[in-house]
Amino acid sequence: MVGDPKTLDELDKIEAQVRVTCRGCKATEIWKLNALIAEVRRNGGNTEWRAARRSIKCPNRCASPLIDLLPLPFGKRRARREAHRHALINLSLQILREATARSANEAVGTLEVRLALHVLRPFVRDQNLLTQYWMTATETPRHPWCSCHKPYRAIVDRLIELEADVDRENLP
């Protein structure tokens, strides 16, 4: 697609999302295409590209919004990728969290823990944190003070530092 589309419906061909920006207050929001079309129709506008801008309200609801629309090609793919990333991180953390709870009493160096650590490698970006968890998980003989709580906390802190979306139940 070259240039602006004629209607919002044309953006469905390129699986687009739309960035809505208010020129007045500089507020920005990313809308799914179906939600944007529904909002335009709900406000009494039509889905022609230039007319749709006048039917959208500012994300911050400022008094006199001048709205710019920017199509984001393949935004649906990007959203799916983010959802998959979120699921991978949190399922891996769930496995590590459950292993950490058992780690004071037994060795937790299982295949599931190893796989969870492997899945987290590209997201944590620090091999030492993952290695430390594995070393603590496989340490023998086991002592009550040799749990995996500290390495687990370090991994979660690193993910939060890198702005990964960690679910509340996986926080240390």
The pLDDT tens digits of the residues spanning 102-118 come to 988 888 999 999 999 99
Residue 30 forms beta bridges with which residues? 19
> How many Å apart are CA 128 and CA 85, to the nearest integer?
22
Would you place residue 2 in the very low, low, confident or very high pLDDT band (cuts 50, 70, 90)?
Answer: low
pLDDT of residue 1: 54
Better-scored residue on pLDDT, 34 or 130: 130
The pLDDT tens digits of the residues spanning 6-30 come to 888 888 888 788 888 988 888 888 8
- Both tokens of 35, joined, read 């939600």
Residue with tokens 């993952």: 130
In Å, how far are 7, 42, 53, 131 from 49, measured between CA atoms?
5, 16, 7, 53
pTM of the predicted model as reported, rounded to 2 decimal places: 0.64
> How many Å apart are CA 116 and CA 171, to the nearest integer?
16
In Å, how far are 25, 83, 132, 136, 137 from 142, measured between CA atoms?
59, 38, 15, 9, 9
> How many Å apart are CA 28 and CA 121, to the nearest integer?
32
pLDDT of residue 135: 93
The pLDDT tens digits of the residues spanning 72-105 come to 888 777 778 888 999 999 999 999 999 999 988 8
